[in-house]
Amino acid sequence: MADPELAAPPMAEIAAASPDDLEPPICRAHIRDILAAGGALAGQRVIVGGWVRTGREQGHGTFAFLQVTDGSCLATLQVIVQAAVHPLARLTAAGTSVLVEGELRRPPEDSKKATVAIELRVDRVIEVGETNPATYPLPKGNIALDTLRDVVHLRPRTNTISAIARIRHQLACATHRFFDENGFLYVHTPIITTSDCEGAGEMFQVTTLFSQAEKLEELKENPAPSEADIEAAKLIVKAKGDAVAQLKAARASSQEVSASVSELTKEKENVLRLEERSKLKPGIPIKDDGTIAFENDFFKRQAFLTVSGQLQVETYACALSSVYTFGPTFRAENSHTSRHLAEFWMVEPEIAFANLQDDMNCAEKYVQYLCQWLLDHCEEDIEFISKKYEKNGRHDQTAINRLKLVSSTPFVRISYTTAVDILKNVEGHEFQNKVEWGIDLASEHERYLTEVIFKKPVIVYNYPKEIKAFYMRLKDCCCYGCSCATGW
């Protein structure tokens, strides 16, 4: 039984302890939570930290209004600071970082311009990170996305990038939540691999040969050791070994033997370094047949950034039944379109003991789950992105309405052959890409099926095997010599 005097103190006591050399925790409130509560928090004291979106002095310089954001939501919190509390000129510049404490209050009822439900009246300014208004690169108005490429460190402070960050975060949360609720296990698959999973595109190669080649430039100033140098070092090793043997035979003290063994070890390591250095040759190592000698590389063979975790996750499915991987993948395709990315995150579920119907059911439920999750957690951000970037002008086709449609509507499921027949019989519309059985459907074909024909999501299955990946399962059929179809 443990000594009561040595027993660990309760966690509450540990949390309550405040060492003399540490300042107390800040415990700031998130603007998202303050605004969500509306006026219910009026009268409470809080600490808020964030960045000034806009600021202006009022009342002939007696106080200032600050619109502060902390990234927790799209909206800003109105903060009021009196000149007696802090010099106003140091607070009002866009981009200024502030950490303030005060009381939450409802705006005065007689204020005709009151547009907020709650505001913060500051009585203590804890920290201020000033900016120079003349050089701060983010304007108060709109800024082109291309321009943001030159101010990468400030991009997340814009409404667009911060909204996208919150949306992506929620999609990742929903992904893990969905698969966990449906009995899947999350599997981490390698980012660096020696296999080309799909064999359908270029891969980014991972190698240390170039950095090694650069290091070889030092051979010009410090040449590699010769065979004579290595032999001389080996003779020293032999002499040190003999010295150790003599000390042991003479029953020398353990201290003397240990010191001698240490010297022997150092000389052996020196020989290894000399032998390794003697193999160095300028440039990339090349075999006799002219190919690169990857056996000199870090992994002793070619290695690449993964294009898919599918091969690894399939092995887990054969042991754990339902699994998925969710991580970065890389494609070195020389295609500069919005559909071709060098790096992106991909969800790859694998289900054992399931057929194509089970696969489609899982995909439909997952997409609907994500759409409903966004409606529940990101509606403000989705509406902002929709208003700013959607140009169709139709209320029924906004992002919010599309999410509502997808989340609540069963998906249409048609075979590839049926899809081709429907598209061939379309009248009054001419496709840029010819519709023909045996070729892959183009984006315009897919959009026409979903947006015009069915007006809802569509799953197309049983494609011809010639246009699908080699690992797709062939559809069972009773005919002979046919061009069998594969899964979706």
Each residue's pLDDT tens digit, 337-383: 777 889 999 999 999 999 999 999 999 999 999 999 999 999 999 99
> From first to last of its 488 residues, what are the pLDDT tens digits of the chain?
445 444 555 655 655 555 677 888 999 999 999 999 988 999 999 999 999 999 999 999 999 999 999 999 999 999 999 999 999 999 999 999 999 999 999 988 766 556 788 999 999 999 999 999 999 999 888 888 888 999 999 999 999 999 999 999 999 999 999 999 999 999 999 999 988 877 656 899 999 888 777 666 666 667 778 889 899 999 999 999 999 999 999 999 999 999 999 999 999 999 998 887 777 666 777 888 888 888 888 898 999 999 999 999 999 999 999 999 999 999 988 877 777 889 999 999 999 999 999 999 999 999 999 999 999 999 999 999 999 888 765 555 789 999 999 999 999 999 999 999 999 999 999 999 999 999 999 999 999 999 999 999 999 999 999 988 877 888 876 544 455 555 55
CB 213 within 8 A of CB 283: yes
The Cα–Cα gap between 52 and 121 comes to 15
Tokens of 357: 């119907």
The Cα–Cα gap between 14 and 484 comes to 68
CB 445 within 8 A of CB 423: yes
Instruction: Output the CA–CA distances (angstroms, integers) from residue 365 to 307, 358, 359, 410, in the order listed.
Output: 25, 11, 10, 9
CB 70 within 8 A of CB 50: yes
* Type of residue at 346: M
CB 417 within 8 A of CB 202: no
The Cα–Cα gap between 337 and 124 comes to 51
pLDDT in tens, 63-111: 999 999 999 999 999 999 999 999 999 999 999 999 999 999 998 876 6
What residue spans of 22-158 are helical by DSSP H?
Answer: 31-36, 145-148
What residue spans of 340-415 are helical by DSSP H?
Answer: 356-377, 379-389, 399-408
* Type of residue at 486: T
Q: Of 143, 137, 52, which is closest to residue 93 (Cα–Cα)? A: 52
CB 137 within 8 A of CB 154: yes
CB 301 within 8 A of CB 295: yes
Instruction: Output the CA–CA distances (angstroms, integers) from residue 263 to 109, 232, 269, in the order listed.
Output: 86, 16, 10
pTM above 0.85, yes or no: no
The Cα–Cα gap between 135 and 95 comes to 11
Tokens of 360: 């489609």
The Cα–Cα gap between 322 and 349 comes to 7
What residues contact residue 251 under an 8 Å CB cut-off, 6+ apart?
none
- What's the angle, vertex CA 45, arms to CA 40 and CA 46, rounded to 5? 95
328-352: burial string, b at 16+ Cβ within 10 Å, e else: ebbbeeeeeeeeeeeeeeebbbbbe
Q: Which long-range contacts (CB under 8 A, 24 or more apart) does 283-289 make?
A: 283/213, 283/216, 284/209, 284/210, 284/213, 285/209
